[in-house]
Amino acid sequence: MLKHRPYITVILAMSADGKIADFQHSPARFGSETDKTHLEEQIATTDAVLFGAGTLRAYGTTLTVSHPDLLQHRENLGKDLQPLHIVITQTANINPDIRFFKQPVRRWLLTTGSGASFWSNRPEFEQILVFKDNLNYPQEKINLAAALQHLATVGIEKLAVLGGGELVASMIELNLIDELWLTVCPLILGSTKAPTPVAGIGFTEKLAPRLELLEVRTIEHEVFLHYRIKSGM
């Protein structure tokens, strides 16, 4: 496990057949109000949330903490009322007119040098972080490990990852995920084109990360699964 990085939890809702959106990649709104409350509660415990530009483009917004008790608890702990919201993207191809940029949250951008060029002299992001991967890829890559180490140095101890599947996959491959909260919702989406919680090229059974089940909650027709990723991958 990489040392000196935040404690990282993935939080996602999926269909009963393991899809986080339909084959058209529409915004996933199949979670119940209970699932939304659960997500808000988890976000409220964090210092920052991280999500890909594809997730942001799909929704146009981010979930903020709104429940008075959760806001009061954050204030009692000396935290900002809202966690920091960090968008990670190679290209930074994001519409500056979406509602996300009007929401009352601090926004950082984690991107490549080329991705930073459009946003560098604009007010939307409080900080723009560029951590290059020194390997010889045909295109620029973000050094996730270095970025997370930097986040730890600026006081981010607990980080939630809200998607998408490519981001989660890349973080699991680098052993950068500690826990997962997966909500299983009562519908079947099907399709080989529908995105899943973990994308990428996949793992063989022998090399697949193993999970330890910490908790199961069943509320009406949804199942909330809480896992820890076992160390020693």
pTM for the structure as a whole:
0.93
Q: Using one digit for the tens of pLDDT, what is the confidence trace for 29-78?
A: 999 999 999 999 999 999 999 999 999 999 999 999 999 999 999 999 99
What would the CATH number be for the domain defined by 7-229?
3.40.430.10
Average of per-residue pLDDT across 191-201: 95
- Pairwise CA distance, residues 217 & 226, whole Å: 9
Residue 121: count of CB within 10 angstroms of its CB: 6
E strand intervals along the chain: 7-15, 48-52, 84-88, 107-111, 127-130, 158-161, 179-185, 211-219, 222-229
Residue 129: count of CB within 10 angstroms of its CB: 18
Q: Using one digit for the tens of pLDDT, what is the confidence trace for 64-92?
A: 999 999 999 999 999 999 999 999 999 99
> β-pairing, 158-161 with 107-111?
unpaired
